Amino acid sequence: MDAAEIHRRLRDKLGNSVLPEIKENEWPVIGVLPAAIAESCRLLRDDPETAFDCLSNLTAVDRKTDDLIDVYYHLYSYGHRHKVNLKVSCPRLDPALPTVSTIWPIGDWLEREAFDLMGVNFIGHGDLRRLLMPEDWVGHPLRKDFVEPEEYHGISTRRESLLKL
């Protein structure tokens, strides 16, 4: 199924929660409002015509200049071999999205990673802990305004330049 058809089906069911334009790409981008993302994912997975059985990737991108955080969901269907990219923009101050970890189990770790590194809150996740960074780390390192701490547990993060002998 081509992306325009997937888009039309989504808009039929969810109306204006799905943005009208579609960006043609290798992974066609469909914009979705934050509140509707889990519902869109569930519809796309459960509809036998679309059958997106795999969450290939989930990434958050910090767009500091627009004061937004974009979250990308790359969905793939092994049955139909088609793909789509759902994109959600949420406010940078308090990014919160409904979880998709109940739809695809791999969403569990991908969401924990997005929370850990970018500070996106996934409501209903149930176990939203840091995944890669240490538990007591402060801040979300992939944010553009993240300032690297001077030291961590007494270990300095600064080093003299090796070129300066």
Interatomic CA distance for residues 74 and 58, integer angstroms:
6
Interatomic CA distance for residues 145 and 6, integer angstroms:
37
- With binding defined as CB under 8 A, does residue 1 bind other proteins? no
Tell me which of 104, 120, 122, 125 binds other proteins, using CB under 8 A. 104
> Shortest approach of other proteins to residue 39 CB, angstroms?
19
Residue 83: partners with Cβ closer than 8 Å, 6 or more residues away:
27, 28, 56, 74, 75, 76, 77
- With binding defined as CB under 8 A, does residue 43 bind other proteins? no
Strand partners for 91: 68
For residue 88, give the 3-state DSSP assignment. Answer: strand
- With binding defined as CB under 8 A, does residue 56 bind other proteins? yes
- With binding defined as CB under 8 A, does residue 152 bind other proteins? no
Q: How many residues bind other proteins (CB under 8 A)?
A: 34
Tell me which of 11, 33, 42, 53 binds other proteins, using CB under 8 A. 53
Report yes or no: 21 and 31 within 8 Å, Cβ to Cβ.
yes
Interatomic CA distance for residues 128 and 23, integer angstroms:
31
- The stretch among 7-15, 60-68, 90-98, 153-161 that binds other proteins (CB under 8 A) is 60-68
Q: Which residue, chain included where needed, has tokens 């066609």?
A: 28
Tell me which of 9, 39, 43, 141 binds other proteins, using CB under 8 A. 141
For residue 44, give the 3-state DSSP assignment. Answer: helix
> Shortest approach of other proteins to residue 80 CB, angstroms?
12
Q: Give residues in contact with other proteins (CB under 8 A).
A: 25-27, 29, 53-57, 59, 61-63, 72, 74, 78, 81, 85, 104-106, 108-110, 117, 129-135, 141-142
